Chains A and B, each alone.
Chain A
Amino acid sequence: MAIFVNKDVQVTVNSVDLTSYVTNVEFVQAVDSVESTAMTTSATGINGHTFVGGLQNNSCTISFNQDFAATKVHATLTALVGTQTTIIVKPTGAIVGATNPNFTITGAFMGEYRPVTGAVGDLATVGAISFTGGLYTAPIV
């Protein structure tokens, strides 16, 4: 697969396909850096910090166009505040595979939801929602 432009990134939140409302998505696979720097026997033995990998610290931040109709964006997201869920992000609408992996976080926590944001004349949107924590699952390759 060559380089490409984001056009049909697929986003599933709590098993609900909200792709057609998503305007921006950032999926972050991360691990905490835990410092393990220690004294050495020689003053010149160490000149920098050393780290080991700690707990996973994944996140996924998503922006949506708002829709207050039944079962749409608002209904789906407001029910998730304060809960853990599963987020799946796929680069394109094609079948999952090595060139189109599905990035998944299970147990991602949604702590905040901003149903109304924007200035006069703006499109009604949902403030960027962050799903934090949880376990990253390696994509299917």
Chain B
Amino acid sequence: MTSYKVISELVSGKSPGDTITDEELEGVSVEALIAAGHITKTTTTKKVEAE
């Protein structure tokens, strides 16, 4: 499941800073939402274990 961060105030039912999943975006053009600046892909950082 892919998650996105909401970065505009116009995404239906969401506020800036909220997370939205691809399940919630079914039937929606995710590429268009990203291109328009409404959402951005969330990046996950892996913790590197010290040797």
Contacts and interface: CB of A to CB of B under 8 A. Distances in A.
A79 B25 contact: no
Given A15-B33, A70-B37, A76 B10 contact: yes
Contacts of B8: 16, 71
A107 B10 CA distance: 21
A80 B29 contact: yes
Interface string A21-41: 000000000000000000000
Given A75-B37, A76-B36, A16 B11 contact: yes
A97 B11 CA distance: 21
User: Taking chain B's interface residues, is the majority helix, strand, or loop, or is none over half, making it mixed?
Assistant: loop
B11 A17 contact: yes
A107 B38 CA distance: 20
B28 A75 contact: no
Contacts of B31: 79, 83
Given A71-B36, A75-B37, A79-B35, A16 B12 contact: yes
Interface of B: 7-12, 25, 27-29, 31-33, 35-38
Given A16-B12, A70-B37, A85-B28, 17 more contacts: A14-B29, A14-B33, A15-B11, A15-B28, A15-B33, A15-B38, A16-B10, A16-B11, A16-B36, A17-B10, A17-B11, A17-B12, A18-B10, A71-B36, A71-B38, A79-B35, A106-B27
24 contacts: A12-B12, A14-B29, A15-B12, A15-B38, A17-B10, A17-B11, A70-B37, A71-B9, A71-B36, A71-B38, A75-B35, A75-B36, A76-B10, A76-B32, A76-B36, A76-B38, A79-B32, A79-B33, A80-B29, A80-B32, A83-B29, A83-B32, A85-B29, A86-B27
